Amino acid sequence: MADRKPRLAIFKFSSCDGCQLSLLDLEDELLSVAGAVDVAYFLEASTNPRGGPYDVALVEGSIATGEDVARIRQIRRRSRFLISIGACATAGGIQALRNFGSLAEYASGVYPRPQQLDVLATSTPISEHVKVDFELQGCPVNRRQLLEVVLAFLHRRRAVVPSHSVCVECKLRGTECVVVSRGIACMGPITQAGCGAICPAYGRGCYGCFGPAETFNAAALIDRWRQDGDGRFEVVQRLRHVNAWAPRMREESSRQESKPR
């Protein structure tokens, strides 16, 4: 890497492209980044993709088909460092909600010829199929955090990404707690920071877009929801959002769902 520009590649699997666009949203830094690396593969922004090997590969999206499995393994073999970005790549995304039910039942209710579908029974994160060197949570990812992670790997240092909860972001921006002041259900206490506490700032509860925080005291939060009148269905629904298949979210929602009515 010292004798040439490091080669960067960005790949997409089952996703909406939002996390790739976060990289393109780096208006002030984008030209500097593009000048410091050789962007070898980025179909969202280039019509001249080149094969590996790559020094750093960013991967967006979940694994949903057998073809996806083969492709991610090939990418892993060609990449020195592989970083999964966004809720789909790190936790299966919104499409992983199908993992809690029957794919056949869902498919028959949506498609006129479901037998033609060639998909896996589950939608899963990249880490369930190959070794991942770093996971950056978010839906979409925070563009500043994404830049920090890319630079950290290029310069062989530890990426500094906050692991505290959204509640800390609310305090930093002086936002009144919607739980205490309005009795609004909020995922903020168990969700990792990164969004800037946008929803609470506009009087809404956090939806958990940035995945589980380092400190994940779901039991205490659920007790509060129940005090405010939430039943089992509401609790499970709150835990099953874009990061529903993240292990701690999945385990807690399944535990709540299995409780007697």
Query: For residue range 110-132, what is the model confidence (pLDDT) as tens digits?
Result: 899 988 888 999 999 999 999 99
E strands present in 119-175: 134-136
pLDDT confidence of residue 259: 84
Higher pLDDT: 114 or 190? It is 190
What is the C-alpha to C-alpha distance for residues 92 and 122, in angstroms, rounded to an integer? 9
- Measured in residues, the chain has a length of 261
> In this predicted model, what pLDDT tens digit does every residue of 82-109 receive, in sequence order?
999 999 999 999 999 999 999 999 899 9
The strand pair at 134-136 and 79-85 is best described as parallel
CA–CA dist 119, 18 (Å, integer): 22
Q: Which amino acid is at 55?
A: D
Radius of gyration over every alpha carbon of the chain, rounded to an integer in angstroms = 20
Query: For 144-162, what is the mean pLDDT?
Result: 94
Average pLDDT, the chain: 94
Examine the pLDDT at 228 and tell me if it is beyond 70.
yes
CB 95 within 8 A of CB 64: yes
d(CA 94, CA 31): 32
Q: Are 212 and 192 in contact (CB under 8 A)?
A: yes
* pLDDT (0 to 100) of residue 34: 81
**What pLDDT does residue 150 have?**
94
Instruction: Yes or no: say if 52 and 74 are a contact pair by the CB < 8 Å rule.
Output: no
pLDDT of 189 reads 97
pTM of structure:
0.93
User: Residue 253 has what pLDDT?
Assistant: 97
Q: In this structure, are residues 190 and 168 in contact, taking their beta carbons and an 8 Å threshold?
A: no
Residue range 173-192: average pLDDT? 95
- CB-based contacts of 223: which residues, under 8 Å, 6+ apart? none
- How far apart CA 42 and CA 59 sit, in angstroms, is 11
C-alpha–C-alpha distance, residues 239 and 200, integer Å: 17
| The predicted structure's pLDDT at residue 3 | 67
